[in-house]
Chain A
Amino acid sequence: MKGYLSDRMGAALLMAPLLLFLALAYAWPFLGVVKWSFTLPTPGVGQYEALLTDDLVQSVFIRTLRIAAIVTLVSVAAAYAITVVWVRGTPTQRLVAEFCILVPFWISVLTRAFGWVALLSNRGLINSWLQAVGFISEPLALVRNEFGVIVGMTHFLIPFAVFPLASAMRALDDRVLLAARGLGSSRMRTFWSVFVPMTRSGIIGAAMIVFVFSLGFFVTPAILGGGRSVMVAELIYLRIFQSPDWGLGAAISVVLVLFVGALMALLFRYVRPRQLI
Chain B
Amino acid sequence: MRQPGRAAEIKAIGIGKSFGSFRALDNLTLDIGRGEFVTLLGPSGSGKTTFLMILAGFVQPTEGRLFSDGTDITDRPAEQRAAGMVFQGYALFPHMSVEANIAFPLKVRKQSAAEIKRRVGEMIERVGLVGHAKKLPAQLSGGQQQRVALARALVFEPGVLLLDEPFSALDKGLRGQMQAEMKRLHQATGTTFVFVTHDQSEALALSSRVAIFNHGKLLQVGAPNEVYERPANRFVAEFLGEINMLPLKGVRSADNGATALCEDRAISLRGSAEGIDGNAILAIRPEYMSIASEATPGENGIAATATGSTYLGTATRLDLTTKQGARVSVSVPNEVAAAALGNGNSVWLTWPAEKGFLLPDGGQ
CB neighbors of A among B68-126 (8 A) = 77-85, 87-89, 91-95, 104-105, 108-109
Interface residues of B in 38-57 (CB under 8 A from A): 56-57
> Of B58, B89, B91, B108, which contacts A185 at CB under 8 A?
B108
Contact A183 B105 (CB under 8 A): yes
A65 within 8 A of partner (CB): no
Interface assignment of B152: CB less than 8 Å from any CB of chain A: yes
Min CB–CB distance A161 → chain B (angstroms): 21
Closest to A198 in B: B95
Residues of A contacting B82 with CB < 8 Å? 184
Complex CA distance for A183 and B83, rounded to whole angstroms: 7
Interface string of A190-205 (1 = CB under 8 A from B): 0001100110100000
Contacts A182-B58, A183-B85, A183-B152 given: A176-B109 contact, CB under 8 Å? no
Q: 1/0 contact trace for A145-187 toward B, CB 8 Å? A: 0000000000000000000000000000101101111111111
List, in ascending order, chain B residues with CB within 8 A of A186's CB.
79, 108
Cβ of A189 under 8 Å from chain B: yes
Assuming the contacts A179-B91, A180-B93, A200-B95, asked whether A189 and B58 have C-beta atoms less than 8 A apart, the reply is no
A272 CB, min distance to chain B CBs, angstroms: 15
Flag if A194 contacts B93 (CB, 8 Å). yes
Q: How large is the interface on A (under 10, 10 to 19, 20 to 34, 35 or more residues)?
A: 10 to 19
**CA gap between A198 and B200 in the complex, in Å:** 36
In the complex, which residue of chain B has the Cβ closest to the Cβ of A173? B91
User: Is B15 part of the binding interface, using a Cβ–Cβ cutoff of 8 Å?
Assistant: no
- How long is the Cα–Cα vector from A194 to B88 in the complex, in angstroms? 18
Do A183 and B95 form a contact, CB below 8 Å, given A175-B87, A178-B87?
A: no
Q: How far is the CA of A189 from the CA of B108 in the complex (A)?
A: 8
Instruction: Let me know if B89 and A183 touch, CB within 8 A.
Output: no
CA distance A194 to B94 in the complex (A): 9
Report Cα–Cα, A47/B174, bound state, in Å. 69
Task: Say if the beta carbon of B248 comes within 8 Å of chain A.
Answer: no
Given contacts A197-B95, A198-B94, A198-B95, contact A184 B89 (CB under 8 A): no
Given the interface pairs A184-B109, A184-B156, A186-B79, the reply to whether A179 lies near B95 with Cβ below 8 Å is no
Q: Which residues of A contact B57 (CB under 8 A)?
A: 182
Query: Using Cβ atoms and an 8 Å threshold, which residues of chain A touch B156?
Result: 183-184
Minimum Cβ distance to chain B for residue A191 (Å): 13
Give complex CA distance A126, B83 in Å. Answer: 53
Q: Given A194-B93, A198-B95, A179–B109 Cβ distance below 8 Å?
A: no
Q: What is the size, in residues, of chain B's interface with A at 8 Å between Cβ atoms?
A: 28
User: Who on chain A is nearest to B100 by CB?
Assistant: A193
- A185 and B104 contacting across the interface, CB-CB below 8 Å: yes
Would B89 and A173 count as touching, CB distance under 8 A?
yes
Does B153 have its Cβ within 8 Å of any Cβ on chain A?
yes
CB of B79 within 8 A of CB of A176, answer: no
The one of B58, B77, B88, B104 in contact with A183, judged by C-beta atoms closer than 8 angstroms, is B104
Bound Cα distance A139, B125 (Å) = 68
CB neighbours of B58 from chain A (8 A): 178, 181-182
User: Which residues of A sit under 8 angstroms from B88, Cβ to Cβ?
Assistant: 175
Give chain B residues whose Cβ lies under 8 Å from the Cβ of A198. Answer: 93-95
Given contacts A183-B85, A183-B152, A184-B156, contact A176 B78 (CB under 8 A): no
How far is A136 from B45 in the complex, measured between Cα atoms in Å? 64
Knowing A178-B58, A179-B87 touch, does A185 contact B95 (C-beta < 8 A)?
no
- In the complex, how many angstroms separate the beta carbon of A201 from the nearest chain B beta carbon? 10
A176, A182, A185, A193, most chain B CB atoms within 10 A:
A182
Contacts of A179 in B (CB 8 A): 85, 87, 91-93
Interface string of A123-139 (1 = CB under 8 A from B): 00000000000000000
What CA separation (Å) do A187 and B79 show in the bound complex?
9
Residue pair B108, A182 in contact (C-beta under 8 Å): no
Chain B residues within 8 Å of A182, by CB: 56-58, 78-79, 81, 83-85, 162
Nearest chain A CB to B95's CB is how many angstroms away? 5
Q: Pick from A181, A184, A187, A198 the residue with the most CB of B within 10 Å.
A: A184
- B85 near A176 (CB under 8 angstroms)? no
Q: A189-B108, A198-B95 are in contact. Are A184 and B87 (CB under 8 A)?
A: no
Q: Which residues of A contact B83 (CB under 8 A)?
A: 182
Shortest A219–chain B CB gap in Å is: 39
- Contact status B79-A184, CB under 8 Å: yes
What's the least CB distance linking B149 to chain A, in Å? Answer: 8
Taking the closest CB of chain A, its distance from the CB of B107, in whole angstroms, is: 8
Minimal beta-carbon separation of B73 from chain A (angstroms): 14
Interface pairs (23), CB distance under 8 Å: A175-B88, A175-B89, A176-B93, A178-B56, A178-B58, A178-B85, A178-B91, A179-B93, A180-B93, A181-B58, A181-B77, A182-B79, A182-B83, A182-B85, A182-B162, A183-B104, A183-B108, A183-B156, A184-B79, A184-B156, A185-B79, A185-B108, A200-B95
Taking A179-B92, A182-B83 as known contacts, 6 extra A-B pairs with beta carbons closer than 8 A to each other, sorted by chain A number, are: A175-B89, A175-B91, A180-B104, A182-B58, A183-B84, A184-B82
Which residues of A are interface residues toward B (Cβ below 8 A)?
173, 175-176, 178-187, 189, 193-194, 197-198, 200
Please give the residue numbers on chain B whose beta carbons come within 8 Å of chain A beta carbons, in ascending order.
Answer: 56-58, 77-85, 87-89, 91-95, 104-105, 108-109, 152-153, 156, 162
Q: Please provide the 6 A-B residue pairs with the shortest distance between their CB atoms, ordered closest to farther.
A: A179-B91, A175-B91, A183-B105, A182-B85, A185-B108, A197-B95
